[in-house]
Amino acid sequence: MRASAAVVRGVTLLDPERTCSIVDFPHEVSPGIERLLRDAYLESLKLWPTAYGRLYQSSGTAQPGSYVNYIRTAGLRTLERLVSSTGAQALVAPHFYGAGVLGAYKEQNPEKFSAVVLTDYVPHPIGVPLNLDLYIVADDAAAEVVAKLGVPEERIHPTGIPIDPIFEEPVDPGPARKEILNLDDDDLPVVLVMGGGLGGGELEEVVSLLLGASEAMHLAVLCGSNERSRTRLESLAERGGHEATFLAFTNRVRELMAAGSVLVTKPGGMSCTEALASRLPQVLYHPIPGQEEDNAAAIVRYGAGVMVRETPQILGQTLKILTSADHRRTMVEAANAAHRPHSARSAASLILAGLP
């Protein structure tokens, strides 16, 4: 949804008269299918993450089963209804389920301009139908992966994962320190911690570790939608006499990243890309086997972050970035070199160019 919103912002900047609609496609198809996709994903990670990783790696070559065909057919009916009711001229999918449905729709409607936005650094075949008009990918390495799957190179554009254009604008970190984090006029560094939109146990484990060094940093934790986790973390900090800020969903991530010195995060494609745009060194922890491992590997390859395998390593890597000016400068420069500016505007330009 964040990638969709970024593309819409890009279109608005280039063609303010153009109407765009964002559809939560799995929910639009059926709340039951939405729950199925979400719950199957979360439960498989909870019960056996290694098995999920193996399934992720093998699913690109597996033949679809009858149930997969069923949910794709349901999606196709929904997409046909949406196009009929809106008269949409371009269809853009930023999620593997929508992309698969869009590929099936394109087979029946070859004249309809269709595109996919791939929001991880190593595209997975399940989200790459081969018959679309445009493929927006993270970087040149991702473009090579898509080309090897059989997509013509002229349709693949490594513009970067689309993020909100606000990340390209200069921002004063002062208001974030005062208004969001309620900090005094000291010079202690801000360490941002993100655990994904759902928060959870891994986030609590990481924060518990970093609270032990809270006197040397300002800890700002984005807890996502997990209100129970936020309440537990606030109680934990209070019992230990530690000061930290715990936030739910916020639309001021750009300002927080500008105020931050280090980001400790799960390696989701969007968050990693926003951190690159903010020139913010990343400590990446507990990647989900599959897509997050691939994202982490890309950020490490750039030199803009480090990946830790064990939670106790997080504190040491965070303090190394905070205390070594040379180490931090190297990571900031690497992030700057890896960042692909104006990704949303570039993606929007390519989409608009494809319209009749």
The angle subtended at Cα 335 by Cα 331 and Cα 340, nearest 5°, is: 170
Distance CA 301, CA 332 (A): 14
Angle between helices 325-338 and 291-302 in degrees, nearest 10: 110
| Per-residue model confidence (pLDDT) at position 270 | 95
For the segment 230-234, the average pLDDT, to the nearest whole number, is: 88
Taking the C-alpha atoms of residue 308 and residue 106, their distance in angstroms, rounded to an integer, is: 42
pLDDT-based confidence at residue 62 (cuts at 50, 70, 90) = very low
In sequence order, what E strands does 213-303 have? 218-222, 244-247, 260-265, 282-285
pTM listed for this prediction: 0.89
pLDDT in tens, 296-308: 999 999 999 999 9
The kind and range of the H/E element at 251 are: none
Going through the chain in order, the beta strands assigned E by DSSP cover 90-93, 113-117, 134-136, 156-157, 190-194, 218-222, 244-247, 260-265, 282-285, 305-308
Lowest mean pLDDT among 48-57, 70-79, 85-94, 112-121: 48-57
Strands (E), 138-205: 156-157, 190-194
List Cβ neighbours of 285 (8 Å cut-off, separation of 6 or more).
Answer: 202, 206, 264, 265, 266, 307, 308, 311, 314
| β-strand partners of 245 | 220
Q: Which domains are delineated in the chain?
A: 2-160+341-353 (3.40.50), 170-338 (3.40.50.2000)
- Give the DSSP letter string of 27-40: HHH-HHHHHHHHHH
Tens of pLDDT, residues 63-105: 444 445 667 888 999 999 999 999 999 999 999 889 999 999 9
Whole-angstrom Cα distance, residue 179 to residue 290? 38
Is the pLDDT score of 223 beyond 80?
Answer: yes
Helices 313-323 & 325-338 angle (0-180, nearest 10)? 90
